[in-house]
Amino acid sequence: MTTTVDPAVRAAGAATRVLRVTRTPRGAGGDGGGGDLARQHGRRGRSDGFEVPAGSARTTVLDALTWARTHLDPTLDVRHACYHASCGTCGVRTDGRAVLACVTRLADLPEGDITVEPLRNQALISDLVVDIEALYEGFDAVGMPLVRESRTVPGSRPAPGVEGLTRFEDCIECGLCVSVCPIEASDAAYEGPAVLAAAWRVVEEPRHADPERAFALVDGDQGAWRCHLATECTEVCPSGALPAEGIMHLRRGLLRHRFRVAFARLRVGANGAGEPGGTP
C-alpha cells in the first residue's frame, strides 16, 4: 500500500496523521457518474494512504480529506457542503464507525492510521461518495415537510406579526442510519430507518402532508414491521432525530390506525353496508 506525502510538510517536521482511504477504480468501465445503482459490493477498489498535517485540536476528518485532495491527489472524491453537521452530505466510516467527517476530529481518533471508507448499504458513485437518490425517492414518497412547528426555544414568544415559531426538522438525511442498519445490509428493498422515521414525523405532525399516505407506505412487508429494533440507527444519528423511537411510535400508530379502520367498517356494516336507507 502506498502513502502519498507532501515533501514540504515532511520537511517542516509538523505532526502528521495517515488516512487510509478506500478508492474506486478509474477507467475500469464502471458506470459511475450517478447512473450506477448497483450496490457497492464488488466495486471496492484499492486503499490509498495520504499523510496529512495533524493540524490543531479542531482539525476534522473532512479538513484532512479536502487537504489531501488539494495537495496530494486531486482525483479523490469526497462529498461535502456545510462543514457543520447541518447538510448531512459528508457521511463516511472512519475506523469502521459511521460518522459525519465534518465533526469528527482527528485528535479524537485513536493513534495510528485512520481508515476512511464509504457508507454501507447505499449505491456507490466514487471513492467516498454514495448516491443519495434512493434515499430521496423514499423521502419524496413520504412527503415530510422540512419545517416543523415544535421544539422552539423555551420561554420565547413569536415577534409581532410572526404567526408561529418554526425550525427545520432534525433529520439531515445523511444516511448514517442506513449504513448501520442490519436489515438494510441484508435487503435493499427495506424502506429503512430514515424514511420510516420521516413517515412517523408526518403522522405525528402532519402540517399539510397526508398521514394516510404515510401509513399506507410503511404498512407493507418492507416497512415498519420489518425493523428488528436493533437501535443502531438512533445511536449513530448525529442530529438527535431518534429514528428507532420514530419506528416504535409508527408501529403503535399503525395498530391504532388499523383498529380505527376496522371499527369504522364494522359500524358501516352494522348500519347496512353503508347504503343510504339500506334497512330491510
Partner 1 sequence: MDARTAPQVVIVGGGGTGGALAHDLALRGIRVVLVERHGLTSGTTGRHHGLFHSGARYAVNDPVSAVECIRENRILRRIAPGSFELNDGLFVALDDEDMAYRERFLPACEAAGIPVRWLTGPEARRCEPGLPDGIPGAAQVPDGTMDALRLPLRFFATALANGADIRPWTEVTGVTGSAGCVTGVRVVDRPTGRTSEIGADIVVIAAGPWAGIVGRLAGVDVSVRPSPGVLVAMRGRACNMVLNRLHASGDGDIVVPQRGLSIIGTSSWLADDPDDLGVPEDHVARMLAEGTRLLPALRDREIRAAWSAARPLIGDRGASSGRALSRTFKCFDHAVDDGVEGVVTIAGGKATTLRGMAETAADVVVRKLGLEAPCRTAETVLLPHTAFHRPAEAA
Burial class (CB in 10 A: 0-12, 13-18, 19+), 135: buried
**Residue 161 found at the interface with partner 1 (CB under 8 A):** yes
- CA 21-27-32 angle, to 5 degrees, is 70
**Hey, what's the cell of 222?**
418492507
Q: How far is the CB of 149 from partner 1 (least distance, A)?
A: 11
Of the candidates 146, 22, 142, 34, which has an alpha carbon nearest to the alpha carbon of residue 88? 146
Of the two residues 134 and 197, which places its CB atom closer to partner 1 in the complex? 134
Smallest gap from residue 160 Cβ to partner 1 (A) = 6
What residues between 57 and 86 interact with partner 1 by CB under 8 A? Answer: 58, 60, 66, 70, 75, 77-86
Residue 60, φ and ψ in degrees, nearest 5: -105, 170
Smallest distance, partner 1 to C-beta of residue 28, A: 8
Output 137 or 252, the one with its CB closest to partner 1: 137
The residue from 18, 54, 109, 165 that contacts partner 1 (CB under 8 A) is 165
Q: Considering the rule CB under 8 A, would residue 220 count as an interface residue with partner 1? A: no
Distance CA 223, CA 204 (A): 17
Asked if 102 and 3 count as a contact pair (C-beta separation under 8 A), the reply is no
List CB contacts of 189: < 8 A, sequence separation 6 or more.
222
| Interface contacts to partner 1, rule CB under 8 A | 24, 26-37, 56, 58, 60, 66, 70, 75, 77-89, 102-103, 125-126, 129, 132-134, 136-137, 139-140, 143, 145-147, 152-153, 155-162, 165-170, 172, 239-240
